[in-house]
Amino acid sequence: MSNKLINWFRFASPQAFYPLAGRMIPWFWALAAVFGIAGLYVGFLVAPTDAQQGEGYRIIFLHVPASWMSMFIYLVMAFWAGLGLAFNFRLSGMMATALAPTGALFTFLSLWTGALWGKPMWGTWWVWDARLTSELILLFLYVGFIALQSAIDDPRRADKAGAILALVGVVNIPIIYFSVKWWNTLHQGSSVSLTKSPSMAMTMLLGMLLCALACWMYAIAVALMRVRTIMLERERHTEWVREELGMKAKEQ
Amino acid sequence: MKTRHKRIALIIGGLAVLGLVVALVLNAFQSNLVFFFSPTQVAAGEAPKGKSFRIGGLVKEGTIKREADGVTLRFVMTDTEQDMIVAYKGILPDLFKEGKGAVAQGKLGEDGVFVATEVLAKHDENYMPPEATKALGDAQQRAAANKAAVEATSKTVKQ
**A194 within domain boundaries:** yes
Range name among A40-44, A172-176, B130-134, B146-150 with the lowest pLDDT average: B146-150
How many CB atoms within 10 Å of residue A10? 12
CB burial of residue A101 (10 Å; 0-12, 13-18, 19+)? middle
The CA angle A28-A32-A38, to the nearest 5 degrees, is 145
Cross-strand partners of B108: B114
pTM: 0.85
Q: How confident is the model at residue A116 (pLDDT cuts 50, 70, 90)?
A: very high
pLDDT at res. B159: 43
Q: Which residue has the higher pLDDT, A181 or A9?
A: A181
pLDDT digits (tens, 9 = 90+) for A16-42: 889 999 999 999 999 999 999 999 999
The binding site of B consists of 123, 127
Query: What does the alpha-carbon distance between residue B43 and residue B76 come to, in Å, rounded to a whole number?
Result: 14
Phi, psi of B138 (to 5 degrees): -75, 155
Distance from CA of B109 to the nearest CA of A (A): 24
pLDDT at res. A246: 79
Query: What does the alpha-carbon distance between residue A158 and residue A151 come to, in Å, rounded to a whole number?
Result: 8
Query: What does the alpha-carbon distance between residue A110 and residue A81 come to, in Å, rounded to a whole number?
Result: 24
- Would the pLDDT of A180 be above 60? yes
Q: Which residue has the higher pLDDT, A44 or B112?
A: A44
**Per-residue DSSP letter, A238:** S
Query: What does the alpha-carbon distance between residue B143 and residue B153 come to, in Å, rounded to a whole number?
Result: 15
Q: How confident is the model at residue A4 (pLDDT cuts 50, 70, 90)?
A: low
Distance from CA of A150 to the nearest CA of B (A): 23
The binding site of B for heme consists of 123, 127
What's the structural domain count of chain A? 1
pLDDT at res. B104: 92
- Coil, helix or strand for B39? helix
The average pLDDT across B63-79 equals 86
Query: Is the distance from CB of A106 to CB of A70 less than 8 angstroms?
Result: yes
Q: How confident is the model at residue A6 (pLDDT cuts 50, 70, 90)?
A: low
- Coil, helix or strand for B4? helix
Distance from CA of B156 to the nearest CA of A (A): 6
Q: Which residue has the higher pLDDT, A13 or B131?
A: A13
Do B26 and A175 make contact, defined as CB atoms within 8 angstroms?
Answer: yes
> Which one of A186, A203, A209 would you mutate to disrupt binding with B, by most B Cβ within 10 Å of its Cβ?
A186
Query: Is the distance from CB of A136 to CB of B105 less than 8 angstroms?
Result: no
B121 vs A contacts (CB less than 8 Å): 121-123
Q: How confident is the model at residue B33 (pLDDT cuts 50, 70, 90)?
A: confident
A199 vs B contacts (CB less than 8 Å): 125-127, 159
pLDDT digits (tens, 9 = 90+) for B35-66: 888 888 888 888 887 788 899 999 988 888 88
pLDDT at res. A252: 52
Range of the domain at A181: 34-235
**A58 within domain boundaries:** yes
**A104 within domain boundaries:** yes
A86 vs B contacts (CB less than 8 Å): 4, 7-8, 11
Q: How confident is the model at residue A50 (pLDDT cuts 50, 70, 90)?
A: confident
Q: How confident is the model at residue B158 (pLDDT cuts 50, 70, 90)?
A: very low
**A203 within domain boundaries:** yes
The average pLDDT across A121-133 equals 91
CB burial of residue A196 (10 Å; 0-12, 13-18, 19+)? exposed
In this structure, which amino acid lies at residue A211?
A: C
Do A123 and B125 make contact, defined as CB atoms within 8 angstroms?
Answer: no
Q: Nearest to residue B102, comparing CAs of B155, B44, B56?
A: B56
**A125 within domain boundaries:** yes
Alpha helices in chain A (DSSP H): 2-10, 14-41, 60-87, 90-121, 130-151, 155-169, 172-182, 202-234, 239-251
- Would the pLDDT of B89 be above 60? yes
Query: How far separated are the first and last CA of chain B, in Å rounded?
Result: 54
**A18 within domain boundaries:** no
